[in-house]
Amino acid sequence: MIGLLHTRSIGADVERVDGRAKVTGAAAYAFDQPVENPAYLHPVRSAVARGRVTGLDTAAAEAADGVLAVLTHRNAPRLASTDDTELAVLQDDAVAFHGQFVAAVVAETPEAARRAAALVAVEYAGEPHDVVLSADRDDLYAAQEPEEHGDVDAAIAAAAVVHDATYTTPPEFNNPMEPHTSVAVWDDGGLTVYESTQGVHTVRPVLAEVFGLDPERVRVIARYVGGGFGSKGTVHANVVLAGLAARALPGRPVKFALTRQDMFRVAGYRTPTVQRVRLAADADGRLTAVEHDVVEQSARIKEFVEGCTKPTRGMYAAPNRRYRQRMATLDVPVTSWMRAPGECPGMFALESAMDEAAIACGLDPVEFRVRNDTRTDPDSGKPFSTRNLVACLREGARRFGWEGRDPAPGVRRDGDWLVGTGVAGSCYPVISDPGSAAVVRYGADGRYQVSIGAADIGTGAWTALTQIAADALRVPMDRIDLRIGDSALPRATVAGGSSGTTNWGTAVVEAARAFRDQHGVHPREGDEARGEMRENTAKEHYAMSAYGAQFAEVRVHAGTGEVRVQRMVGVFAVGRIVNARTARSQLLGGMVMGVSMALHEHGVRDPRFGHVVNHDLAEYHVAANADIGDMEAVWIEEEDPHVNPMGTKGIGEIGIVGAAAAIANAAHHATGVRVRDLPLTTDAFVR
Amino acid sequence: MEVDITLRVDGEDRPLRVDTRTTLLDALRERLGVTAPKKGCDHGQCGSCTVLVNGRRATSCLTFAVAHEDDEVTTAAGLADGDRLHPVQQAFLDHDGYQCGFCTPGQICSAVGMLDELKKGWPSHATADLTGPVDADDDEIRERMSGNLCRCGAYAGIVAAIREAAR
């Protein structure tokens, strides 16, 4: 058991320490860096989805006003490593997806670069491409060996109730408001990059390897990051292209911002999924079997598997369980992390299926979930460190006013609107990774400099780490001078997997404890100590996960099929809350993205050309202000002594998990129409 | 083609020479170093670049710099009175109407502009009575702020902040 930190600042409702800089526009994101004499890069993208570049005429571009360089695979600097094929930019003539970088212009101004990029003439030898996913393709391969516990077929044969249905989710694109941007400078044989990234220490080793540099010669800086939701958690081709251009123009800062359209080409996205779920239950509504069979796509140049069966493994008790995950390799851009990869689409399928199975069993959907709660992790057999799914369901039902709900679908009407309510469970594992370090140093100003190369992508890390440092050092928050977002600071893991506070916070606590051990409570200027996050050995004994329950009231227009989410209540059991103000925003933000997923988001890839046709924010709609009704996010008290010294479980992703299912379930309750294919567009409801 | 112009930005005259293709947003950001307005889409679809032009909100990525000689351009950086934040800025802090902060300067300019539109009684799609005064109720705020996307999903805080600032 870990000694939980005594809290004073932790748990408070605290204004963000970076808030003033953000509301005045003073916070400098990557592209805002004031650099001397910048040059601007504009890329040329492939017009075919598969083939080779056979001709490149760059003469007109090179002759255009203000052009400094035109880079192609023929003249671009050679990379030291092309092992990561996504990052092997301009190294050969192969085209692996529509929109891939095939050339780039660097010029004195953004206008000149853009104009000259349009003057680069590219000829291709196109090859037949294949960009369409379906579950009945004959070339699917197993991403993992099919796994079975018990005997699912026998359980299904003996079950009182069997539910068997297939759910699909479309390609979804992260689209943080800040497109991926880089300002790269090659100087004295080293590379400095101001980057919009979820991890400066994630980017640094990758750039060092790709460019053949000693990691000490690479510096990555990201003090403010305009969102990421996973797309900035791994390094994509744009960073390497900026680095190549900087190398071609030593000493000259090269600025490269992806356009919004590029965000649909090279920044990663969530694979479409086809998920068959089979549930078997006995006459009392107890699950006897769970089966989750997933089909996804992966890019020809790099495999990425979205682990949709993960949440099914621990969510409900069922003695017989089977998981299968198969992939199609397609001529598409690289799929990657998007908020709660695996859990988010996986739980849309599972929690929709749970709603349908509850109805088939004649049970209330809250009661059905409560009845199938488990005290031990069904897969590993370990007890949970804490598990409060049932408490979330009960508290959510109370707050939402669930009691007395008429289960009959399609019978409530308010004017032209059909009204319904739905529920879904949420979960997200407590992810912890060792390796983050922090340094505490006592400054001349009587404040404690706390340094860690973490990233705040909007999560509130600037504030949360300040609170944690204050409590760990037992001083008020204003005595903490936090430094993050720079690879010159101690190593930190990526802002991903809802693990930032766990990993970085633990390192900060360890550094603070070491500091007090070594220097006491009356330190001298310059005293410092370092601490590291180590492996949490409690993981050997406990399964660790956060849980939640989401309730939605949905209205569907009887005439037009328009779907509105009138209100939502999310109740979460996520360990201790560090900052009540920012935590609420983060949980709500996940739920809002869940509304967006449920109602709007659908990237449409044209099978003829292989590109996403709705590649901007007008046609790939993400939830706007008027799409969002009354939203409430609350949490229940949960003290978990096993997760980390702060007692936190991570809150960045759980808000989106289950949200879309709650909405789809409510839409069914409103109309009697079960939509198993996201998003819930009007055509499904107009009959 | 390049032209010499003077933009008046946050109360200061800023002479500069611009390519006629340069948008107001790029002129502010890349020529004048005024980086409060952000480029989220460059197509007027996200609202991150919103500034006030003569007090009215405008997406600065959709207008050329050369068209704004003599105009008063106000960014989020120009709203505060010295150290004293504009009431809308303070309300955004109090209600946590932001997370990553990238859309925030645009949200705040948009909010200031739309509160003025409300005061003038300009109706919107959400206004029931087109002739009378318009209340700053939540539906009005949501409707009028829907040109400013926030992918972090801070809409609840944004609406609460503007509701308070409207009082």
| pLDDT, one tens digit for every residue, chain B (167 residues) | 999 999 999 999 999 999 999 999 999 999 999 999 999 999 999 999 999 999 999 999 999 999 999 899 999 999 999 899 999 999 999 999 999 999 999 999 999 999 999 999 999 999 998 888 899 999 999 999 999 999 999 999 999 999 999 98
* HEC per residue, A11-65: CCCCCCCCHHHHHCCCCCCHHHCCCCCCEEEEEEECCCCCEEEEEEECHHHHHCC
- Cα(A485)–Cα(A457) distance, rounded to whole angstroms? 10
Scanning every residue of chain A, which has its alpha carbon at the shortest distance from the alpha carbon of B36? Answer: A25
Write the DSSP assignment of B70-106 as a string of letters. T-EEE-GGGTSBTTBPPHHHHHHHHTT--SS-SSHHH
User: Which of B102, B110, B139, B159 to probe the A interface (max A CBs under 10 A)?
Assistant: B102
What integer is the mean pLDDT of A221-230? 98
Q: Please determine, for residue A687, whether its predicted confidence score (pLDDT) is greater than 80.
A: no
In A591-610, the residues whose Cβ lies within 8 Å of chain B are: 591-593, 596
pLDDT at A45: 98
Chain A contacts of B87, Cβ < 8 Å? none
Q: What is the pLDDT of residues A86-126, one digit of tens each?
A: 999 999 999 999 999 999 999 999 999 999 999 999 999 99
* HEC per residue, A620-670: CCCCCHHHCCEEEEEECCCCCCCCCCCCECCCCCHHHCCHHHHHHHHHHHH
- State the pTM of this model: 0.98
- Please name the member of B29, B99, B147 whose beta carbon is closest to the beta carbon of A589: B99
Asked about A15 being catalytic, the answer comes back as no
Q: Please determine, for residue A512, whether its predicted confidence score (pLDDT) is greater than 80.
A: yes
Tell me the three state secondary structure of residue A291. strand
Record the tokens describing residue B128, joined without a space: 């029931």
Q: Please determine, for residue A72, whether its predicted confidence score (pLDDT) is greater than 80.
A: yes
Average pLDDT, chain A: 97
pLDDT at B102: 98
Contacts with A401 (C-beta within 8 Å, 6 or more apart), sequence order: none
- Please name the member of B33, B38, B108 whose beta carbon is closest to the beta carbon of A23: B108
Scanning every residue of chain B, which has its alpha carbon at the shortest distance from the alpha carbon of A263? Answer: B41
Q: What is the pLDDT of residues A389-421, one digit of tens each?
A: 999 999 999 999 999 999 999 999 999 999 999
pLDDT at B131: 87
pLDDT at A1: 64
User: Which of A18, A20, A22 to probe the B interface (max B CBs under 10 A)?
Assistant: A22
Amino acid, res. A44: V
Q: What is the pLDDT of residues A622-654, one digit of tens each?
A: 999 999 999 999 999 999 999 999 999 999 999
A33-128+176-259 fold: Aldehyde Oxidoreductase; domain 4 (3.30.365)
In A246-305, the residues whose Cβ lies within 8 Å of chain B are: 257, 259-260
* HEC per residue, A424-484: EEEEEECCCCCCCEEEEEECCCCCEEEECCCCCCCCCHHHHHHHHHHHHHCCCHHHEEEEC
Contact B29 A32 (CB under 8 A): yes
pLDDT at A144: 84
The CATH architecture to which B87-166 belongs is: Orthogonal Bundle (1.10)
pLDDT grade for A145, boundaries at 50, 70 and 90 = confident
Contact B100 A616 (CB under 8 A): no
Q: What is the pLDDT of residues A258-291, one digit of tens each?
A: 999 999 999 999 999 999 999 999 999 999 999 9
What integer is the mean pLDDT of A190-196? 98
Contact B79 A617 (CB under 8 A): no
- Please name the member of B48, B101, B142 whose beta carbon is closest to the beta carbon of A27: B101
- Cα(B113)–Cα(B50) distance, rounded to whole angstroms? 10
The CATH architecture to which A341-431+541-684 belongs is: 2-Layer Sandwich (3.30)
Contact B41 A628 (CB under 8 A): no
- Please name the member of B33, B85, B157 whose beta carbon is closest to the beta carbon of A585: B157
In A156-215, the residues whose Cβ lies within 8 Å of chain B are: 175-179
Scanning every residue of chain A, which has its alpha carbon at the shortest distance from the alpha carbon of B51? Answer: A25
Helix ranges, chain B (H): 24-26, 87-94, 104-119, 138-144, 155-166
What integer is the mean pLDDT of A674-684? 97
Nearest Cα neighbor of A632 from A567, A549, A555, A554 is A567
Please check whether residue B123 is in contact with residue B77, taking contact to mean a CB–CB distance below 8 angstroms. no
Q: What share of chain A is helix, strand, coil (3-state, %, to 5)?
A: 30, 25, 45
Distance from CA of A400 to the nearest CA of B (A): 18
Say which CATH class A19-28+433-535 falls into.
Answer: alpha beta
pLDDT at B63: 98
CATH 1.10.150.120 domain position(s) in chain B: 87-166
Please state the φ and ψ torsions of residue A314, each to the nearest 5 degrees: -120, 0
Q: What is the pLDDT of residues A301-332, one digit of tens each?
A: 999 999 999 999 999 999 999 999 999 999 99
Record the tokens describing residue A434, joined without a space: 């060792």
Record the tokens describing residue A256, joined without a space: 């490269």
What integer is the mean pLDDT of A543-566? 98
**Where exactly are the structural domains of chain A?**
19-28+433-535, 33-128+176-259, 341-431+541-684
* A227 Cβ under 8 Å from any chain B Cβ: yes
Nearest Cα neighbor of B37 from B16, B58, B66 is B58
Contact B26 A588 (CB under 8 A): no
Does domain B2-77 bear CATH number 2.20.25.90?
A: no
- What are the residues facing A647 on neighbouring strands? none
Q: What is the pLDDT of residues A496-506, one digit of tens each?
A: 999 999 999 99
CATH 3.10.20.30 domain position(s) in chain B: 2-77
Helix ranges, A229-381 (H): 237-248, 310-315, 343-361, 365-371
Q: What is the pLDDT of residues A474-504, one digit of tens each?
A: 999 999 999 999 999 999 999 999 999 999 9
- Cα(A354)–Cα(A615) distance, rounded to whole angstroms? 34
Chain B contacts of A457, Cβ < 8 Å? 100
Distance from CA of A622 to the nearest CA of B (A): 7
pLDDT at B90: 98
What integer is the mean pLDDT of A531-556? 97
Q: Please determine, for residue A227, whether its predicted confidence score (pLDDT) is greater than 90.
A: yes
Chain B contacts of A596, Cβ < 8 Å? 153
Beta strands A480-483 and A448-451, pairing class: parallel
Burial-class residue B71 by CB neighbours within 10 Å (0-12, 13-18, 19+): middle
pLDDT at A279: 98
Q: Please determine, for residue A341, whether its predicted confidence score (pLDDT) is greater than 90.
A: yes
What integer is the mean pLDDT of A73-89? 97
Distance from CA of B131 to the nearest CA of A (A): 23
Q: What share of chain B is helix, strand, coil (3-state, %, to 5)?
A: 35, 20, 45
Nearest Cα neighbor of B155 from A626, A602, A416, A105 is A626
Tell me the three state secondary structure of residue B161. helix
